[in-house]
């Protein structure tokens, strides 16, 4: 029996595929390479010693997806495949709703056809919206401030409604905080197309000379140094959280919503100084205007993950900074 990983060559998907293989699972990946490269598969094999079965397809293509379920003995699904850029979602809302909502519905419908009723879903701390106070607990009300965030809120609702109608399902909704870092081998990491939307690849591209300086969006927040505070989590810890979630889903029916974060908040300037110290490089930065929709502080209460699945983050901020730089240094042009 195998675990199907949609979007399995993306940043989090590739790290999760490796941890699944390490934990003894057979892995089948589907991806359309819209935000990744074929080289990722080679790197997964190089790190894990196993080349996952791979199908190039878009999950909206139900017939292609059915063929995967016919060919493989799928036991459970981890669903990563989605568009994820906040700014782009504001410019292209219909594309985001079509892809992110339609993709999940297609996956769930095909799963149901083949009587596969265990899913781990990739959600986000963005569902906590603007009004909740950190540390954020899973029982807080959800809201959103951009189309990307709304797709996650709606996806969670789709899964909740499915579970209420069909309580024989196992549904694990994992809300990620801010994944950074890279595999310690330096063979896989975050490889954004174009100008990075996330802070760590922006910092590493400044460090390697691709970008002149880091733009820090706002230094007048109600935080110790005025810059936004976030809960940064090592992508390998996040990946291991998915392995634990699959283990839980295989043994238990039910719907669980689980934060995956460290439970600690660090500011943008904390991240910069930690990166400089861990890697002995300098990151020039400029303070610029706040981005609309950015909250001052966002970090997890991560206690439920430990209580439910025995999971907790193991890497510290220095590890995250070191591994991110190791990846960028060894792959100045990413997977290109």
Tokens of 208: 């390697």
Within-domain flag for 122: yes
Tell me the C-alpha distance between 249 and 171, whole Å. Answer: 7
Q: Tell me if 294 sits within 8 A of 228, measured CB to CB.
A: yes
Tell me the C-alpha distance between 274 and 277, whole Å. Answer: 5
**Which pLDDT tens digit goes with each residue over 13-44?**
999 999 999 999 999 999 999 999 999 999 99
Q: What percent of the chain has pLDDT over 90?
A: 97
Q: Could you give the number of structural domains in the chain?
A: 1
Within-domain flag for 321: no
Give me the chain's average pLDDT, please: 98
The three-class DSSP label of residue 20 is helix
Within-domain flag for 178: yes
Confidence tier at 292 by pLDDT (50, 70, 90): confident
Within-domain flag for 79: yes
Tell me the C-alpha distance between 170 and 270, whole Å. Answer: 39
Buried b (16+ CB within 10 A) or exposed e, 193-213: eeebeebbbbbbbbbeeebee
Within-domain flag for 87: yes
Name the phi and psi angles at 205, rounded to 5.
-75, -30
Give the other-Cβ count within 10 Å of 32's Cβ: 18
Within-domain flag for 31: yes
CB neighbour list of residue 103: distance below 8 Å, 6 or more residues apart: 6, 58, 59, 60, 79, 81, 82
Write out the residue range of the structural domain in which residue 20 sits: 2-182+233-261+301-314
Tokens of 135: 């540390």
The residue whose two tokens read 């109608």 is: 165
What would the mean pLDDT of 292-297 be, rounded to a whole number? Answer: 90
| Catalytic residue flag (residue 221) | no
Within-domain flag for 146: yes
Confidence tier at 59 by pLDDT (50, 70, 90): very high
Per-residue pLDDT, 293: 83
What would the mean pLDDT of 291-296 be, rounded to a whole number? Answer: 88
Examine the pLDDT at 87 and tell me if it is beyond 90. no
Per-residue pLDDT, 239: 99
CA angle 64, 161, 242 (to 5 degrees): 60
Within-domain flag for 88: yes
**Which pLDDT tens digit goes with each residue over 229-270?**
999 999 999 999 999 999 999 999 999 999 999 999 999 999
Examine the pLDDT at 125 and tell me if it is beyond 90. yes
Per-residue pLDDT, 144: 95
CA dihedral 85, 86, 92, 93 (to 10 degrees): 120
Per-residue pLDDT, 194: 87
What would the mean pLDDT of 67-80 be, rounded to a whole number? Answer: 99
Per-residue pLDDT, 268: 98
Active-site pick, 25, 96, 128, 148 = 148
CATH number for the domain including 171?
A: 3.40.50.720
CB neighbour list of residue 56: distance below 8 Å, 6 or more residues apart: 30, 31, 32, 33
């Amino acid at each position: 029996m195998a675990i199907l990983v949609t979007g399995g060559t993306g940043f989090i998907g590739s790290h999760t595929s490796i941890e699944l293989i390490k934990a003894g699972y057979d892995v089948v990946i589907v991806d359309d390479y819209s935000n990744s490269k074929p080289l990722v598969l080679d790197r997964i094999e190089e790190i894990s010693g196993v080349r996952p079965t791979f199908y190039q397809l878009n999950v909206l293509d139900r017939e292609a997806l059915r063929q995967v379920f016919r060919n493989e003995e799928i036991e459970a699904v981890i669903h990563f495949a989605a568009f994820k850029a906040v700014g782009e979602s504001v410019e292209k809302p219909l594309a985001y709703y079509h892809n992110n909502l339609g993709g999940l519905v297609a996956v769930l419908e095909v799963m149901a056809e083949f009587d596969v009723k265990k899913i781990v879903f990739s959600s986000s701390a963005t569902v906590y919206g603007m009004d909740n106070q950190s540390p954020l607990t899973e029982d807080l009300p959800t809201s959103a401030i951009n189309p990307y965030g709304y797709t996650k809120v709606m996806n969670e609702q789709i899964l909740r409604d499915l579970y209420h109608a069909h309580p024989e399902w196992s549904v694990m909704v994992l809300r990620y905080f801010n994944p950074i870092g890279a595999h310690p081998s330096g063979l896989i990491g975050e490889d954004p197309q174009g100008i990075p939307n996330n802070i760590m690849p922006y910092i590493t591209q400044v460090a390697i000379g691709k970008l002149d300086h880091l733009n820090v969006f706002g230094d007048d927040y109600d935080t110790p140094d005025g810059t936004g505070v976030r809960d940064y989590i090592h992508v390998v810890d996040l990946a291991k959280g998915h392995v634990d979630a699959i283990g839980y889903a295989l043994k238990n029916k039910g719907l669980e919503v689980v934060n995956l974060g460290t439970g600690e908040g660090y500011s943008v300037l904390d991240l910069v100084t930690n990166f400089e110290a861990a890697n002995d490089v300098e990151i020039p930065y400029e303070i610029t205007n706040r981005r609309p929709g950015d909250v001052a502080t966002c970090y997890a209460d991560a206690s439920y993950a430990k209580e439910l699945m025995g999971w907790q983050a193991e890497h510290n901020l220095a590890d995250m900074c070191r591994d991110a730089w190791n990846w960028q240094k060894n792959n100045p042009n990413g997977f290109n």
